[in-house]
Amino acid sequence: MKGVLLDISPTMLALGPRPAVRADGRRLPVADASFDAVAALYTLYHYEDPLVPISECRRVLRTGGLFVACSANRDSTPELSSVLPFWGEAGTFDGEDSPAIVAAVFNGPHDQVVVVRWDAPLHTLTDSAYAALFLRTMGMSEEGASAAANRLELPMTLTMRGCFVYATKG
């Protein structure tokens, strides 16, 4: 099957490329072994149990297929620790734990898991409007994000910490 965007959010589907299908990652509406690659970027922390969608991703991969996930560490963007209410708290798919979670699913005799970590000044908040949008992606309300953005000294370069986890189905 050719590339397809799957997302449960109508907003994200409207912004993404075509073809696009509204679906929940816990039950992908595609046949077993139908994809060469699956990407789950900045999404698995939305699930109470990320093992379920990761298992679905492995199910739809052909032998030799590549899965990639990425996640931020709990201590990513330390420059925002004073304005993010849940900064530093554990989630269900943090960069610290995501390699072991993926490896728990990609555990076949020929499966392989490779981790690439990042820890660098990678993103700059240029003005309060952009900072508010960024804080919204971090789970803040529109009102809270606007208020917090107005308290920041901008421009502000953020230290992003996390990892990519690449898994190959053997």
pLDDT digits (tens, 9 = 90+) for 121-156: 999 999 999 999 999 988 899 999 999 999 999 999
Rounded to an integer, what distance in angstroms lies between the CA atom of residue 80 and that of residue 140?
12
Q: Is 39 helix (H, G, I), strand (E, B) or coil?
A: strand
Q: Is 15 helix (H, G, I), strand (E, B) or coil?
A: helix
pLDDT digits (tens, 9 = 90+) for 2-37: 788 888 988 888 888 889 999 999 999 999 999 999
Residue 52 inside a domain? The answer is yes
80: domain CATH number? 3.40.50.150
Residue 48 belongs to what domain range? 5-121+160-168
Residue 92 inside a domain? The answer is yes
Say if CB 113 and CB 166 are below 8 A apart: yes
Residue 61 inside a domain? The answer is yes
User: What is the total count of domains within the chain?
Assistant: 1
